[in-house]
Chain A
Amino acid sequence: MLGQTPATEIQLPSTAFEGESNRPAQSYWNESWERLRANRIGMAAGVLILILGAIALAAPLFSQFLTHYQYDRIDLLSTFQTPGHPHLLGTDDLGRDTLTRLIYGGRVTLGIAFLTVALSLTLGTTVGLVTGYYGGWIDDILMRFVDMVLSIPAIFLFILMSILFHPTPITLAMIIASVGWGGVARLVRGEVLSVKQREFMVATKSVGARDVRLIVRHLLPNVLPVLIVAASLGVGQIILIEAALDFLGLGIQPPTASWGNMLTNSESYFFHSVWLVIFPGVTIFVTVLASNLFGNAVRDAFDPRLKTH
């Protein structure tokens, strides 16, 4: 009706620029990855976590070919063996092999840590995106709920839920995540509030995008850096929380091994079997330290708010 020419048939005048540039497109992700790789300590910490994870995954192999013990095999004739032969890291009060239990405990502890991070990120991100984007009553209700959850001492909630639900690794992850998602939701919501003010959101809406697309395709990638940082810093924290619950006897119950429940009662053996404190303790310490170092490195590399250019 308007006699328009199809867009593809028209040549508009162009302005001369200097010749073609050959520099490759540097995406935000490439740049961040380069920055992360340049951080030696952070990379070493990351690699260490990967190795620990791999060992935990391969636990049955280790028990078969290295230690030759099952993690739950009780041997009352060889309790409190000192590290050496045949028990590389000694045995506990029931004669169970410490190294085998540490390796199997890694499965539980690391598994719970990653599952918890995944759960709280998923829930927290969804809530943060929705509340931040829509605002209004949905924001009021959900965020006041978050405020409420976060203002009850977390340890109290953990103890309560551990009593109500039998803590298996999966329920324990859900218990920790049920408190942890609140912090993520707040973080994401704050980020969304700032990103949604940026003009490209209106610009995208002005080309006819629907809300779901705006949120998932445009908002989410912009809050992803913050999420990556939160995830990598969260792992260490969750290992500590889980270890504390196990230590108190509220988490994973023996004979299932976890780094935390290996420490239960070990304080009574501190003087005559110090390795029962040292090995799980050092493992937790090193893992948490590595998670935090890696988390900090990730933050330095990915957090857009720390970027200098």
Chain B
Amino acid sequence: MAESLLEVRDLHTVFATKHGEVKAVDGVSFEINPGETLGIVGESGSGKSVTAMSVMRLQRPGKIVSGKVMFRGRDLTKVSETEMREIRGQEIAMIFQDPMTSLNPVFRTGWQVAEPVRLHHGWDKARAMSVAVSMLGKVGIPSPAARARDYPHQFSGGMRQRAMIAMGLTTTPKVLIADEPTTALDVTIQAQILDLLRHVNRDFGTATILITHNLGVVAGMCERVIVMYAGRVVESGPTVDVFAHPKHPYTWSLLRSIPRLDAERHEPLKPIDGLPPDLIELPPGCAFHPRCQFKVDRCTRDVPALKLVGETQLAACWVTQSGVEL
């Protein structure tokens, strides 16, 4: 099989705190190929964002303690800061959750959208500005030449997120990491931004990593999905398979906790009982076992590894690995 565009292998990122080491990312592996869209889902604190930040080496004050991030033949955890700066914004771009705060309030939007090409291609102001303006137009900002002279506070939330996407795309990066790009936006704008990301992925061939806690977004956007729990990947595979036949009790519970059009009308939604575990002291064995309805003895002792449970679907669960259907 050809080498993946970006491959994360057994990544561990920790945060030192007074109370101990928080294992925010605890052995995460995944890969993404050109033009693909990968979803990373999980609840708050499951390590999705830290994983993304670690790929960009922006995880400070966290520390990558082991693992590899292979990108076009280089291990990003090992390259120098200078090389990393070349990659950031040029090869891998990132979009953040809150468009209200991710633009610098004191600069005109166009100036900021132009910043990556000025940094990476060393273009003069006029040339960088013309790219910024054309990019703002492409992401659906009306009269972009005029709006480029506006300050961020004159933009709506949706427009700011479009501006962020434009900024990410000016250098035609190979990978776009979108960290909860729609969480702070209202529903109609969410749909527009997702639509835009879908077009970016299709038309620019940009591989997209979409981080979200919204399963609906993943279903609509991603070919493959990885599900994270307590800093570990618990399930991964083609979105269709994972959603239709979840092989990890956590995924199964997540899917049952959201409303579905095809479910019985009066069937109540089932929240997942209990709380996510303490990341300093994970429960022994499978981190999900205290909340799991299917647990067996072994779950409380040994940590299950990700294993093939279908054609391309992986799950880290002793129960389903032994052939039991959820």
Contact = CB atoms under 8 A, between A and B. Distances in A.
Interface residues on A, range: 35 or more
B147 to A, nearest CB: 9
A306 interface: no
A269 interface: no
B140 A204 contact: no
Interface string A99-115: 00000000000000000
A84 interface: no
Interface stretch (A24-32, A70-78, A123-131, A244-252): A24-32
Contacts of A203: 94, 96, 102-103, 164
Interface stretch (A1-9, A43-51, A86-94, A184-192): A1-9
Interface in B89-147: 89-90, 93-94, 96-98, 101-108, 115-116, 119-120, 131, 134-135, 137-143, 146
B199 A12 contact: yes
Contacts of B142: 14, 16-17, 19-20
Contact of B131 (A5, A7, A28, A209): A7
**What is the predominant secondary structure among interface residues of chain A facing chain B?**
loop
Contacts of A2: 5, 34-35, 174, 205
B85 A208 contact: yes
A204 B102 CA distance: 8
Given A207-B89, A207-B93, A4 B199 contact: no
B264 interface: no
A208 B108 CA distance: 19
A17 B143 CA distance: 10
A20 B169 CA distance: 24
A213 B135 CA distance: 23
17 contacts: A2-B35, A2-B174, A7-B169, A10-B138, A12-B196, A25-B149, A25-B151, A28-B105, A28-B151, A204-B115, A206-B56, A206-B88, A206-B93, A207-B115, A208-B120, A209-B85, A221-B106
A25 B115 contact: no
A222 interface: yes
B203 A206 contact: no
Interface of A: 2-8, 10-17, 19-21, 25-28, 198-200, 202-210, 213, 218, 221-222, 224
A208 B204 contact: no
Contact of A210 (B85, B203, B204): B85
Contacts of A204: 104, 115
B103 A7 contact: no
A10 B169 CA distance: 11
Contacts of A25: 108, 149-151, 154
A71 B200 CA distance: 75
B195 interface: yes
Given A7-B131, A206-B88, A12 B140 contact: yes
Given A5-B203, A15-B192, A205 B58 contact: yes
A218 B140 CA distance: 27
Given A203-B102, A207-B115, A27 B151 contact: yes
